[in-house]
């Protein structure tokens, strides 16, 4: 009779395979697919995100043993098993094979479980040989990225830069916390955590404001979470609000605010004085913004559902919130997410020329909407978490050509292998005062 621990291990593999199966069928966002996982959550998430991250490499490995792709459910178990064998060094090979096969047995088809067993055992026996052969494949297969992205990045960053970026994307992302300076000083924060027996590792990009947490950390149980001492966000998220430089007493609109990391930075700069409206068109994403605003005690922030790419509707909603025009607008626009593929590995498989063009068109509409809400002499910070020039420098350049009343004051891009942060771009645009 299997022990409870063995049942849990088997269930963990089956849970991971079920989620991978759902992703293979629907390409739904993985963070939504893992929402209901409670048992052995850290392991399941590592496997699910790992399979998605290394999907192209894993599919190549699978074809070495099963040339014709099996049905999606069986393929999910094969990918889960192969990921453990080839990319999880801390998992014993016999456990990766046996417990994944046990999970497959629960699907009710013995023939399918036999296939999973045969493939994984052959893969285990040929592990060294397969690794050597994988290392000789094209960069897209070897580094598990679509060719279109690698070709674009080699043109932009050079072959070495593209390879470094792919390697960065294939690492597990760090958990990073930003200390809320309006609640506690960085030194007092570090002292409190060390007193609680926690390791404090300042992030190299901003070692006076950010700390890196250990994987598996229970965020809500950390000292200061309830009190609002910190928020979990990458250092790259502060570049845009710092460029905007919101001042106490100003009227500020964070027009694409979810999940809210930039909103809390703006609020800290404003010291609770002035008007800060945080808007987003996705009501389901605003729940997290409201939670952060409540937890951090940002009572002066107004959170509302609104789409700035539809300026007439946006003006009506803003009318109820107060100002009809703003001193500054922050636009963290929807994009292709190519700067955050380490955190969102699924986005690499959605990238296409068509999606890029769609994103650029949406960004243009958002910029147009923001321009109509800005006071004379006001400023816009346009930002993305993309590395693609069409969404960044070229987008801003095109918009400035058709809006001569604006000028570019500053622009900055973060390249992950260099900064140790997510990739991001931000540009400060200022409206000229009429004479």
Cβ–Cβ < 8 Å for 100, 115: no
| Active-site annotation holder among 166, 257, 360, 385 | 385
Among residues 272, 249, 251, the alpha carbon closest in space to that of 330 is found at 251
Distance CA 192, CA 190 (A): 5
Query: Which two tokens mark 312?
Result: 């007439």
Question: Counting every residue, how long is the chain?
Answer: 435
Q: Which residues contact 313 (CB under 8 A, 6 or more apart)?
A: 306, 307
Sheet arrangement for strand 230-232: 201-202, 210-213, 175-179, 230-232
**What is the number of alpha carbons within 13 Å of residue 335 lying toward its C-beta?**
26
CB contact set of 153 (below 8 Å; sequence gap of 6+): 161, 162, 165, 166, 387
Q: What are phi and psi of 176, to 5 degrees?
A: -125, 140
CA distance 237 to 287: 19
The token pair that represents 352 in the structure block: 């296409």
- 210 and 176 Cβ atoms separated by less than 8 Å: yes
Closest CA to 183 of 266, 271, 277: 271
Cβ count within 10 A of residue 226: 10
- By DSSP bridging, strand 251-254 and strand 424-431 are unpaired
Helix (H) or strand (E) segment spanning residue 124? helix 110-125
DSSP state string for 58-77: HHHHHHTT-SS---HHHHHH
How far apart are the C-alpha atoms of 326 and 247, rounded to whole Å? 12
Cα 384 to Cα 333: distance, rounded to the nearest angstrom: 6
Give the contacts of 361 (CB within 8 A, at least 6 positions apart): none
What is the arrangement of strands in the sheet containing 251-254, beginning at the earlier edge strand?
301-305, 275-280, 251-254, 326-332, 374-384, 424-431, 406-414
List, in order, residues 6 or more apart from 113 with CB less than 8 Å away: 101, 104, 105, 107
Whether 385 is catalytic is yes
**Hey, which residues are catalytic here?**
385
């Amino acid at each position: 009779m299997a022990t409870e621990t063995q049942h849990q291990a088997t269930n963990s593999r089956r849970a991971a395979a079920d989620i991978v199966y759902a992703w293979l069928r629907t390409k739904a966002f993985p963070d939504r697919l893992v929402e209901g996982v409670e048992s052995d959550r850290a392991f399941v998430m590592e496997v699910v995100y790992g399979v998605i991250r290394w999907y192209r490499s894993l599919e190549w490995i699978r074809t070495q043993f099963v040339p014709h792709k099996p049905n999606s459910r069986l393929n999910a178990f094969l990918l889960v098993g192969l990921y453990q064998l080839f990319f999880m060094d801390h998992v014993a090979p016999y456990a990766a094979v046996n417990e994944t096969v046990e999970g497959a047995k629960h699907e009710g088809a013995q023939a399918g479980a036999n296939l999973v067993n045969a493939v994984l055992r052959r893969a285990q026996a040929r592990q060294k040989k397969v690794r050597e052969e994988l290392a000789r494949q094209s960069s897209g297969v070897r580094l598990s990225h679509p060719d279109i992205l690698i070709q674009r990045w080699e043109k932009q960053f050079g072959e070495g830069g593209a390879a470094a970026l792919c390697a960065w994307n294939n690492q597990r992302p760090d958990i990073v916390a930003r200390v809320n300076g309006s609640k506690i000083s960085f030194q007092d924060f570090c002292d409190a955590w060390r007193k609680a027996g926690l390791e404090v590792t300042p992030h190299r990009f901003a070692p006076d404001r950010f700390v890196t947490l250990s994987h598996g950390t229970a965020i809500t149980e950390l000292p200061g979470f309830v009190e609002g001492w910190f928020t979990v966000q990458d250092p790259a998220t502060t570049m845009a609000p710092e460029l905007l430089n919101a001042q106490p007493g100003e009227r500020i609109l964070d027009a694409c605010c979810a999940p809210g990391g930039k909103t809390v930075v703006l609020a800290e700069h404003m010291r609770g004085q002035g008007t800060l409206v945080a808007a987003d068109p996705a009501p389901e994403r605003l729940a997290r913004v409201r939670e952060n605003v409540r937890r951090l005690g940002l009572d002066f922030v107004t959170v509302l559902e609104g789409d700035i790419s539809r300026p007439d509707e946006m003006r009506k909603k803003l009318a109820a919130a107060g100002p009809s025009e703003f001193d500054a607008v922050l636009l963290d626009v929807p994009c292709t997410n190519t700067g955050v593929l380490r955190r969102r590995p699924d986005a690499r498989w959605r990238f296409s020329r068509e999606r890029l063009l769609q994103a650029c068109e949406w960004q243009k509409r958002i910029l147009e909407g923001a321009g109509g809400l800005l006071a004379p002499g006001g400023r816009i910070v346009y930002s993305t978490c993309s590395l693609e020039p069409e969404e960044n420098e070229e987008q801003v350049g095109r918009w400035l050509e058709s809006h001569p009343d604006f000028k570019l004051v500053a622009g900055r891009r973060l390249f992950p292998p260099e900064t140790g942060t997510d990739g991001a771009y931000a540009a400060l645009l200022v409206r000229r005062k009429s004479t």
